Amino acid sequence: MDYYVVDVFTDRCFSGNPAGVCPLASWLPDETLQSIAMENNLSETAFFVDRGEHYELRWFTPKLEVDLCGHATMASAYVLYNILNARQDKLEFHTQSGILIVERGDNDLLWLDFPSRPGVAAQKYKSLEKAFGFDCFEVYKAADILVVVDNEDAVRSIHPDFNALKGAKEDAEMPDDSFGVIVTAPGNDCDFVSRFFAPNAGINEDHVTGRAHCVLTPYWSKRIGKTSLTAMQLSKRGGRLWCRDEGERVKIGGKSALYLSGEITI
């Protein structure tokens, strides 16, 4: 089985978010897909099958399957365009979150076309106060939990208690373990910054998170009155994103770099 690792939302290796990509001729058993993702031990491994006019796409963390993943979708598109020589202007992926489109843009950008996931105001869950050690924040609930703090330094300095953070699932009545907790603030050199924590999904902190920007883009677009925004995710590896609010959809742009190509033997 061919296997690739692509660093996404960056223009160089060893930054951005690495995703595993496995093109398949046909679907393997779910247990095998999960075992491969666990063995890869990346935040997500993407698997896709070519159906001619479109691709079926799924994503697995080391612990479970998730319903939406941005960086592994972009990594899959990178492999299709740059290694497998896909000729389509737009790649169509059929997923648990519906049809997702990726297209090439200027300056080596790939653009994700994803569903917008605006949050609704929620309470300050006790689990979040305990996990972060402070209560100066606002909370919004969508497919993920959005926590808004005052400034970039506050986002950078967070060291969560991940056991406490797991309690947000019960407090916020999240339906499964695939949700994450996004922390965001205005950026010093961009429109907004963020970090993303998903301990329930087996990922304490994700490096750069496309799906989080389905929540972040509508929030910041409304707050600052712009439809085109720039963003940074402040993980140790870090990453840069370009975002556009298009109503029911969001466009998320980024660059990618190939780190590894190889073969999995099973």
- Looking at residue 264, the DSSP 8-state letter turns out to be -
**Contact, 116 vs 218, CB < 8 A?**
yes
Task: Find tokens 């870090």 and name the residue.
Answer: 238
Q: How far apart are CA 84 and CA 182, in angstroms?
A: 34
Other beta carbons within 10 Å of 225: 7
Task: Find tokens 């006790």 and name the residue.
Answer: 126
Largest interatomic CA distance in the chain: 52
Q: How far apart are CA 82 and CA 243, in angstroms?
A: 23
31 counts as catalytic: no
Instruction: Extract long-range pairs of 168-175: CB within 8 Å, 24+ residues apart.
Output: 168/125, 168/127, 168/128, 168/131, 169/200, 170/127, 171/125, 171/126, 171/127, 171/128, 172/122, 172/125, 172/141, 172/145, 174/145, 174/200
Which entry of 31, 39, 44, 170 is annotated as an active-site residue?
44
List the catalytic residues: 44
